[in-house]
Structures are given as structure tokens and as C-alpha cells.
Amino acid sequence: MKKIEMIIRPEMMETVKEIVENVGAGGMTVSSVMGCGAQKGRKEVYRGTEMTINLLHKLKIEVVVVDSMADSLVDAISKGIRTGQVGDGKMFIIPIEDAVRVRTGEKGDIAL
């Protein structure tokens, strides 16, 4: 099992959701995060004082899938949400040892 953890532009949420559903992943978890990377933030003036807003609003989406599904999901998303502009986001693939579906107590791939 692998967890695909993606940091995306908030407006790409719906696109990601569709792809995740199409690929047949069992679910997803979304959190509101702030991030910086190549996209370095912006300078604004608040009451005459310059302030750098260098953490931008992003969404983190986590999807745990069976090993075999990981690559195709990564590719589909990578293509689906690419604009080519800085700030498109990143994906990290993280090994997962096991998963449990609480409702049934099932473990392993079947729990996803």
C-alpha cells in the first residue's frame, strides 16, 4: 500500500476528486494547509507596513491505494492538475504498512 500525499492549488480540488474516483481509490482525506516552495509568496502593504505573505493557501490530499494503483493515480493527477505555472504543487509517495477499516476490523488491501 502507498499513500499519495499531494499539495495542490485549492481550486484543483474538484479535478482531483474526480480523478481519484475514476481511478477507483476507496477514499480520500483533505486538509487545509499553508505552503511555500518555488512559489515564493507575495508582498503586500498593511496599514503602511510591508508584509510578506510567503505561506500560501494549499490543500493537502491524502489517498491510500494498493501498490498497483499508485503509479497510474500519480500520473493521472500530475497531468490533470498541471497548469505549468509555479505553485502547481507536489506529490509524495509514502509507504504504508497496513490499513484497517474500523467498521469491520478488516486489514490489508481489502481495507482500502
Partner 1 sequence: MELDVTVLTEQLDTLWMLVAAVLVFFMQAGFAMVEAGFTRAKNASNIIMKNLMDFAIGSFLFFVVGYGMMYGKDIAGLIGGSQFIMPSDAPVAILFQTVFCATAATIVSGAMAERTKFVSYVIYSAVISAIIYPIAGHWLWGGGWLYQLGMIDFAGSTLVHSVGGWAALVGAAMLGPRIGKYKADGTPNAIPGHNITIGALGVFILWFGWFGFNPGSTLALDVSIGHIAMTTNLSAALGAITVMTISWVKYGKPDVSMTLNGALGGLVAITAGCASVSMWGAIAIGVIAGFVIVFGVEFVERKLKIDDPVGAISVHGLCGVAGTLSVGLFATAEVGELTGMGQINGLFYGGGFGQLAVQAIGVVSYMAWTLATAFILFKIIKSTIGLRVSKEEEIMGLDLGEHGTEGYADFVLKM
Ligand X SMILES: Nc1ncnc2c1ncn2[C@@H]1O[C@H](COP(=O)(O)OP(=O)(O)O)[C@@H](O)[C@H]1O
Contacted by 84, from ligand X, its own copies, partner 1, none: CB < 5 to 8 Å by type? its own copies
CA atoms within 13 A on the CB side of 17: 8
Element (H, E) at 83: none
Rounded to a whole number of angstroms, the minimum distance from the CB of residue 9 to partner 1 is 8
Complex with ligand X: residue 3 or 49, whichever CB lies closer? 3
Binding site for ligand X (CB under 6 A): 7, 25-29, 35-39, 56, 58, 62-64, 86-90, 101-103, 112
Angstrom CA distances, 44 to 19, 29, 39, stand at: 36, 32, 15
Do residues 87 and 9 touch, judged by C-beta distance below 8 A? yes
Residue type, 50: E
Binding site for partner 1 (CB under 8 A): 9-11, 13, 32, 34, 42, 44-51, 53, 57, 59
Rounded to a whole number of angstroms, the minimum distance from the CB of residue 3 to partner 1 is 21
Contacted by 16, from its own copies, partner 1, ligand X, none: CB < 5 to 8 Å by type? none
Do residues 98 and 52 touch, judged by C-beta distance below 8 A? no
